[in-house]
Structure 1
Amino acid sequence: MQYRSEWQVSYPPATDVVLRLIGLTVAAFLLQIVATTFFYPNFAVFLQQHALSFGAAFHPAQLLTHALIMPPGFNGFITALFQCLMLWWFGSELEGNWGSRHFLRFYLYAILTAVALGFLAALIPGGSFLYTGASAGTAAILAAYGMLWPDRQVLFMFFIPMRMKWVIGLLFVVGGLFAILAGAWGHVIQYGGGALSAALFLFYYARQGSKPGKRSPGLFDRLRERQRKKRLRRKQEEINRRIEMKDEVDRLLEKISREGMDSLSRKEKAFLDRASKEF
């Protein structure tokens, strides 16, 4: 969601992949209600079978099903609503700039990165947690948006003017604190995995000198400019070294013309030999 300079509310049009993800989220939420009402009266059994856990109950299908699970009851409705709004407000602009293929790849990459972090955490004693929801994908979208448009002005809570980087940072802090207080360490890892995947995704394209799509000046330009300056500095250092070497060669040749070859020291002869090979 973005705002014009007159602080008029404006929403980006929902893009193709975003609409599909929103539809998938809503469908999964409704199916979960049906499943837990008629087939899994005990929600813990439902979680054990479909949430992601790297313990004895692990099943490969959980790598996909865990991203579609919401909390039970009203909390699940709020979670689904928040996820859909974040996809619409922030994901639509990313997809519009990057294209559908890159955006979908980015979203799935975020979820898989969080899964990888969860697997690594499970290797630590006491680090096996339960993972549900697509919070890694949502976190990646927010992090990428904040990195690409950090200074964009918005009205936080519809009346507080703030820069986008502070809004995104605040959302991460609040979400992380709630997860920690609730003991939901799996969500903390998912938030971290999503943010990490966003940074790596953007850094990769910046290093390649390309980008997933058009966007306003920001992270890509700064990283590419740093690489360009680094290459120019190396070239300039090489040019300066060759100029100094040529000056030294001219001095030694002049010395030879005046005093003969025997006037050169062993070090000076070695330098001339090296210079002749290089030039």
Structure 2
Amino acid sequence: MSIVNDIRTAFSRRDNALNQLLLINVLVFAAFILLRTVMFLLTQDKNGHQPVLEWLAVPSVPGTLLTRPWTLLTYSFIHFDFFHILFNLLNLYWFGALVREYLGDRRLVSLYVLGAIGGAVLYLLALNLIPALRSGPAILFGASASVTAIIVAAATLMPDYTFNVILIGPVRIKYIAAVLVLVSIAGINGSNAGGMLAHLGGALLGFVFIRQLQAGRDLGRPVQAVGDFVGNLVSGRPRMSVTHRSRPAEAPAPKKGGLARPEQDEIDLILDKISRSGYESLSKDEKQKLFKASQK
């Protein structure tokens, strides 16, 4: 089938992280629709899918979480409501494209994963330590924490970048992020307190991620290392060890037509300039250096 080939092609490309994240969310959503329908037809139970959901969603009980540690990531790909997944995927597409353009695919994936973990951690801490939020066992699922991390990261990196919002007009993304955070805070005393707390955990992670990156520390390196390890296992590629022979101390000349990779200090300065004045303020040379760095 052409759909299967399209999916296979999407996952075979190494520079396609944003589309891969979107596709995984859609595929999981479709799989749960099919599962719910099949279980209902077989058992006449509308909640027949619940055991599978509980196996993949984050439980609020720490003891249960210890037996299902993978849920800290898997929960961030699960949706049931159409408008829930639509809202999340639209924001992931818009803001994820910005993060991917300036920071590259690997850091986009790192933000998604770390945002999910940050959201789950705050959810667990709040529901177990704050008396007002204790309401018995619960589960957390949805990509909102990851998406919020990406939105806040984009707003921290490029606060004055503008989106044209329907019926409103151009709005700087720092205000979009601020409204999202305020709505999440206001929703803590509502029926979805756990979800709102996860949003805030993701928002905090997105902010810290960019601030640390601007300080020269990439919090996503462990995620990238695990991803590389898993990718090598799946592809069957052996890990290679490279030994360099001693050579005269001279800088290697870049290949003809190529660009030398900029040093981290230069990238940090460029990111600071984006934070202050926006992407449009960069020179052509600075844009080339940023693009080259994003390909690492």
How far off its partner does 1:50 sit?
Answer: 2.9
Gaps of 5+ in 1: 1-14, 222-279
Q: Which residue of structure 2 lines up, in the alignment, with residue 217 of structure 1?
A: 273
Work out the CA distance in 1 between the residues paired with 2:144 and 2:268.
Answer: 22
Pairing partner for 2:97 from 92, 96, 116: 92
Q: How does 1:221-240 map to 2 (within 5 A)?
A: none
How far off its partner does 1:131 sit?
Answer: 1.1
How far off its partner does 1:92 sit?
Answer: 1.1
Q: Which residue of structure 2 lines up, in the alignment, with residue 16 of structure 1?
A: 16
Asked if the contact 2:157/2:274 (under 8 Å) is kept, the reply is yes
Work out the CA distance in 2 between the residues paired with 1:139 and 1:181.
Answer: 19
Q: Which residue of structure 2 lines up, in the alignment, with residue 183 of structure 1?
A: 191
- Give the residue type in structure 2 aligned to 1:130: I
Work out the CA distance in 2 between the residues paired with 1:51 and 1:34.
Answer: 18
How far off its partner does 1:112 sit?
Answer: 1.2
Q: Which residue of structure 2 lines up, in the alignment, with residue 50 of structure 1?
A: 56
Which entry has the higher C-alpha Rg, 1 or 2? 1
Pairing partner for 1:63 from 68, 72, 75: 72
Work out the CA distance in 1 between the residues paired with 2:139 and 2:24.
Answer: 22
How far off its partner does 1:21 sit?
Answer: 0.5
Q: Which residue of structure 2 lines up, in the alignment, with residue 26 of structure 1?
A: 26
Q: Which residue of structure 1 lines up, in the alignment, with residue 38 of structure 2?
A: 38
Asked if the contact 2:145/2:200 (under 8 Å) is kept, the reply is yes
How far off its partner does 1:62 sit?
Answer: 2.3
**1:104 matched to 2:112:** no
How far off its partner does 1:141 sit?
Answer: 1.0
Q: 1:67–1:153: structure 2 CA closer, same or farther, 3 Å change rule?
A: closer
Work out the CA distance in 2 between the residues paired with 1:51 and 1:153.
Answer: 35
Fraction of identical pairs, as percent: 25
Work out the CA distance in 2 between the residues paired with 1:62 and 1:160.
Answer: 39
How many residue pairs match? The answer is 202
Work out the CA distance in 2 between the residues paired with 1:83 and 1:158.
Answer: 20
TM-score by length of 1: 0.63
**1:153 matched to 2:162:** yes
Asked if the contact 1:48/1:57 (under 8 Å) is kept, the reply is no
Work out the CA distance in 1 between the residues paired with 2:143 and 2:170.
Answer: 29
- Give the residue type in structure 1 aligned to 2:181: F
Give CA-to-partner distance per residue, 1:153-211, whole Å, 9 cap, x none.
Answer: 3322254333222222223334554x446411121121111111111111112222755
Aligned partner of residue 155 in structure 1, secondary structure: strand
Asked if the contact 2:95/2:150 (under 8 Å) is kept, the reply is yes
Pairing partner for 1:195 from 187, 191, 203: 203
Gaps of 5+ in 2: 1-14, 41-45, 217-263, 278-296
Asked if the contact 1:54/1:119 (under 8 Å) is kept, the reply is yes
Asked if the contact 1:90/1:141 (under 8 Å) is kept, the reply is yes
**1:78 matched to 2:87:** no
Aligned partner of residue 178 in structure 2, secondary structure: helix
Work out the CA distance in 2 between the residues paired with 1:152 and 1:64.
Answer: 30
Work out the CA distance in 2 between the residues paired with 1:62 and 1:164.
Answer: 31
